[in-house]
Structures are given as C-alpha cells and as structure tokens.
Amino acid sequence: MGTILDKLIKIELFTDYVWPWCYLSTVRVEKLKKSHNVKVKLVHFPLHPDTPIEGQSLKQMFGPGKDIDEMNRKMKALMENEGLAYNNRDMTYNSRLAQELGSWADTQLNGENIHNSIYESYFVHQKNIAEKQVLIDIAINLGFDELKINEVLENRTFEKQVDADWSKARNMGVTGVPTFVAGGAALVGAQPYEAIVDLINNAQNQN
C-alpha cells in the first residue's frame, strides 16, 4: 500500500480502444491507482489508423489463417478472470474520433470514466465507436452536456492533441499496446499486475 511519503509516480500508458489487451489492462490499472501513489496519463496510439469508418472484419484484418472463434474463446476466458464482460467480436473499427473524445474527457471533472465506457461499448455491446452518435450516447450517459460533445466531435477540437499523442508514440519507439512507461523504463503488453508494480517500484527507488 502506498503512503503519503511515497513520491508521486507518473505513468504514461499508450493504448487504443479497439485492442482487447488494452481493455484487459484496465482492471490492473485501477488496482494500481488504489494501492500506489501514481498518476496515469493515457497516451493514444494509432493501432489500425487506416480502418474505414464502417469498420473491417477481423477475418479481413488477420487473414484466413486466423481462427477468430478460438481467439474469442481465449479472450473471453481471460476477460472473465479479470471480472470484465466480453462478447465475441468479428469487427474492428476506426478509433480516431473516440480518442479525440477521450482526450477531451480527460480535461473534464471525472472525465476518465469515459475510457472504460468506450471499451465496453465496443467489446461488450459491439458498437461502432467510429460513429459520432455512438460516442455522443456514451458521453451523455456519463452526464456530459450534449451540445459540448457535439462541438468537440464536429469541430475536432482535440485533433491536435491526438496528433501529438501519435507523434509521441513514434518518437519514443512505441510499436505495441498497452505500453507502460515510468521512470524512463517501459513495459510492453498486458503484463501481470506484479510486473507493473515492479515498474513502479523501480521508478520510486530512483533518485
């Protein structure tokens, strides 16, 4: 358990809403926030930026050699172990606009709640999170003002912020998500909770 004497450790978490391993890591991140003196900053990552707005089938994305049903069975079991809901998926969607909405929400009171809602919209309810109305509904359900949400999405208010996130990922050599960065070290993938704690402890012990 962290104490008030622990220095605040800043974690940059590179992530994308359409990648199941990022969704899987949300439980571990929340656990980390409760037990350690950390501040987690989401950095959006362009996993499949060329995905069309209408989406792409996983068979198209992975090719004929990938057993999508088996992949879903394995992922569902992993999610259940973390207490996360998950429904079989056969489509992936463009996450760019969702990332812009998420960046805006991070500037609002309790806005971080939107991230899990976006994950659930895709992985549980199988919604196309590239569609504006889907994102509007997510934000309204969290109590955000509809007019403000429309303004953010229509005017692409946080387009430059997400551009900056994507540039940061390139400049830092991040090629996969989730990637945890703290104290100058990086941890790639949906790592066990203990591995993330080790990353934090090593950052804590630095002078």
| Segment 88-113, tens digit of pLDDT | 999 999 999 999 999 999 999 999 99
pLDDT at 205: 87
Diameter over CA atoms, the chain: 54
Mean pLDDT within 53-76:
96
- Cβ atoms of 107 and 157 within 8 Å: the answer is no
| Segment 110-137, tens digit of pLDDT | 999 999 999 999 999 999 999 999 999 9
The beta-carbon contacts of 106-114 under 8 Å, at least 24 apart in sequence, are 106/42, 108/144, 110/142, 113/142, 114/138, 114/139, 114/142, 114/144
| Strand ranges (E), 45-189 | 56-57, 91-92, 179-182, 185-188
pLDDT band, residue 1 (cuts 50/70/90)? very low
pLDDT band, residue 207 (cuts 50/70/90)? low
pLDDT, averaged across the chain: 95
More confident position, 49 or 207: 49
pLDDT at 206: 82
- Cβ atoms of 25 and 40 within 8 Å: the answer is no
Give the containing element (helix H, strand E) for 7.
Answer: none
Which residues lie below 8 Å from residue 27, measured CB to CB, with a gap of 6+? 82, 83, 84
